[in-house]
C-alpha cells in the first residue's frame, strides 16, 4: 500500500467557496460545498457549483462521489457516480446531483455539503490491439453466470 502524499492545489473561484474538508481523521473523502441555492424536484437533475477548481499532479484522478447521508435520508445522489476529474482539468468543479425521491423536492442551500472528493492514483496503461485473447476460467460468461 502506497503511503505517498500528493499535493493538490485548490483555488476558490467564487467568493463564498469553502475549501473541501475531511470531516473526521481517517476519512477517505473531502466534503465539497455548494455555493448556490437550488431546489431539485423529484427526479430532477442539476449541476451544482462548488466554487472551486483544482490542480493535481499527473497520475491522479479526483472522483466525485455521493454523500451517504444525502442518499439514505433524502434520495439525493451524484448522477454519474463516481464522476471523474482528470489531472489536466483546471475549470470549475460542478456536481451533477439527482433527486431520486419520487414525492419530495430537495433544497440545497449555500454552504451545504453536497458530495465528496476522493483522490486515486491512475496507472499508466497502454492498450494493444490483438487478434485473439488468452483463455480464462470465466471466459465470456457474464451477467449472473457465477450465481446469485
The verdict on pTM exceeding 0.75 is yes
Q: In this structure, what C-alpha cell is assigned to residue 47?
A: 449541476
- In this model, does residue 1 exceed pLDDT 70? no
pLDDT in tens, 82-110: 999 999 999 999 999 999 999 999 999 99
List of domains in the chain = 9-121 (2.70.40.10)
pLDDT in tens, 20-54: 999 999 999 999 999 999 999 999 999 999 999 99
What helix, strand, coil percent values describe the chain, rounded to 5?
5, 35, 60
**Residue 110 phi, psi dihedral angles, 5° rounding:** -55, 135
Render 55-82 in DSSP notation, one character per residue. E--TTEEEEEE--HHHHHHH-EEETTSS
- In this model, does residue 2 exceed pLDDT 70? no
Amino acid at each position: 500500500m502506497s503511503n505517498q502524499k500528493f499535493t493538490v492545489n485548490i483555488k476558490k473561484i467564487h467568493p463564498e467557496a469553502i475549501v473541501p474538508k475531511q470531516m473526521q481523521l481517517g476519512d477517505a473523502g473531502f466534503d465539497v460545498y455548494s455555493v448556490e441555492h437550488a431546489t431539485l424536484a423529484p427526479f430532477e437533475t442539476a449541476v451544482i457549483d462548488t466554487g472551486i477548481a483544482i490542480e493535481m499532479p499527473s497520475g491522479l484522478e479526483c472522483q466525485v462521489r455521493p454523500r451517504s447521508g444525502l442518499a439514505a435520508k433524502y434520495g439525493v445522489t451524484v448522477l454519474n457516480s463516481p464522476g471523474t476529474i482528470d489531472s489536466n482539468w483546471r475549470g470549475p468543479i460542478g456536481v451533477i446531483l439527482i433527486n431520486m425521491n419520487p414525492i419530495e423536492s430537495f433544497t440545497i442551500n449555500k454552504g451545504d455539503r453536497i458530495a465528496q472528493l476522493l483522490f486515486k492514483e491512475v496507472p499508466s496503461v497502454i492498450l494493444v490491439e490483438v487478434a485473439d485473447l488468452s483463455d480464462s476460467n470465466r471466459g465470456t460468461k457474464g451477467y449472473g453466470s457465477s450465481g446469485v
